[in-house]
Structure 1
């Protein structure tokens, strides 16, 4: 498991000199779709890729139904999914209404197991 990085130029708006500096950014990442995940899981189990796809599609719909009903979803080993709002500010509690919510965001907090596993990744220049 190797993550590739590239040096990326940045300028901080907090730096009065606007000095160019560099940070590491991920590079050469490859998108893996549901079909590819289905194939990988099928090779590691007795489930067919089609069955994996059906379960993933079902999970997607169930998760959105639950999130839309004000639930937080905890999938052990993965993490916790929830919602957050981008909201207008008001001077009083009565000033906040459903119209104050300008955007609904999906939140994700990775499971501690996942965080530990990520520390095992190797990072090298890509």
Structure 2
């Protein structure tokens, strides 16, 4: 299946990181989720109930980012991917977490972790 629904650039403030100041002050994280599912039924019915309601999914993803802190964005990415694959119609997800304000003492444009998951782990 190669149909996909994409939610890109979802921004939320979280308190993730290995340093005390990251946990205390927080920072913005940006999430990109590419959901793989069959969009044919939704196209035929024109009913949001036959697809993934990306607005409601965005709410759940923001709750994960703003929720319980973790040390690594790898862990955060795994939790977000699990939220996506919990959607009954989603066969797989490519989920990227960007940490644009990562504590690096050099100029950089982005730090990110991407995981690809399906209903049975790696997809």
TM-score, L = length of structure 1: 0.31
Over alpha carbons, which structure has the higher Rg?
Answer: 1
User: If the length of structure 2 is used for normalisation, what is the TM-score?
Assistant: 0.31
